Amino acid sequence: MPTDWIMGLFGGLLIGGAAAIFLLVNGRIMGASGIIGGLVDRSGLGNWTEKAALIAGLIIVPAIMTLAMGVKPTYLTENLLVIAIAGIFVGVGTRIANGCTSGHGVCGISRLSLRGIVATVFYIGAGGLTVVLFKHVLGVI
Amino acid sequence: MRNFMAFIVGSLFGAGLLISGMTDTKKVQGWLDVFGDWDPTLAFVMGGAIVPMAVAWRFVEGRKPMLRDHFDAASDPKVGRKLVVGSVLFGIGWGLAGLCPGPALASLSFGGFGGIIFLIAMLAGMLWAPKLRKVLD
């Protein structure tokens, strides 16, 4: 639906604007998996207050927005086994690849980084095959 | 001041994810579902996000960040096994649930029990990653 595309573009500009501020002001890459993962495995505790502040904004602002404008459902599957397996794969995969949709996708592709482009090709490819297999062939999701 | 700016950055990031529809797992899976009812929204989000960042990268050359004395060092430029294996694992999980790390946090307050389970599993995966990384080295 074109309205969704316009909202997507506008939301995307906000995401990219946020990443641009983090780079030009704080000198850092806005990669969600690196920011979260660096706290989890303690490899990125050097600037933990910065990471914690970013995570706080990332959680609190959507909470306030949904309180004010109504909840946007996530339509997440109710199959807890699928959720748990998916979560583990996302956690382990993004940390081994050293980046996710924000780090490799947004921050990497925008500087024409080969790593960012290769990572994005592989995670979109694997994601596409997964949806085809688990939705259309196996009917699990 | 850096912490305050990081909070602003997280706030804009969260607002952008919510507005763009990236906390809606059906939209993400719809983008990946090339053989089903394909939803191109994610391409608009990615495109919109890449533009300001592409401009920002042009300002980096020969300059310093406003609140720090250097930029994050560019990561190891090698396209290796870890990058490919990790991205494939990430893609499988992303396809299964339709959530990646940013939206998993942004939707935490309204994503229900499933969203919390996803986040806990993701954190567990992140905790486990350094061990698997050693195996791949």
- Above 70 in pLDDT, residue A31? yes
Encoding tokens for residue A19? 């990443």
DSSP for B60-106? HTT---TTSSSPPPPP-----HHHHHHHHHHHHHHHHHS--HHHHHH
Flag residues of chain B having pLDDT under 70: 75-76
Q: What is the pLDDT of residue B97?
A: 98
Residue type, A102: S
Please name the residue of chain A whose CA is at the shortest distance from the CA of residue B49: A16
Chain A hits for B90, Cβ within 8 Å: 89-90, 93-94, 97, 100, 123, 126
Q: How far apart are CA B84 and CA B21, in angstroms?
A: 27
Q: What is the pLDDT of residue A113?
A: 95
Q: How far apart are CA A59 and CA A94, in angstroms?
A: 20
Number of domains chain B contains: 1
Determine the structural domain holding residue B56 and report its residue range: 2-136
Q: What is the pLDDT of residue A1?
A: 67
ipTM for this prediction: 0.96
Q: What is the rounded average pLDDT for all residues in chain B? A: 95
Average of per-residue pLDDT across A104-128: 97
Q: Which of B10, B97, B129 is the closest to A86 by Cβ?
A: B97
Contacts of A41 (CB under 8 A, 6+ apart): A95, B126, B127, B129, B130
Q: Which of B12, B53, B71 is the closest to A110 by Cβ?
A: B53
Chain A hits for B100, Cβ within 8 Å: 32-33, 90, 94, 100-102
Could you report the per-residue pLDDT of A33-89, keeping only the tens digit for each?
999 999 999 999 999 999 999 999 999 999 999 999 988 899 999 999 999 999 999
Chain B hits for A87, Cβ within 8 Å: 93, 97, 99, 104, 117-122, 124-125
Which of A1, A34, A94, A15 minimizes the C-alpha distance to B47? Answer: A15
Q: What is the pLDDT of residue A11?
A: 98
A54, B13: Cβ pair inside 8 Å?
Answer: yes
Q: What is the pLDDT of residue A111?
A: 95
Query: Which residue has 């499933």 as its token pair?
Result: B114
Q: Which of B33, B47, B56 is the closest to A9 by Cβ?
A: B47
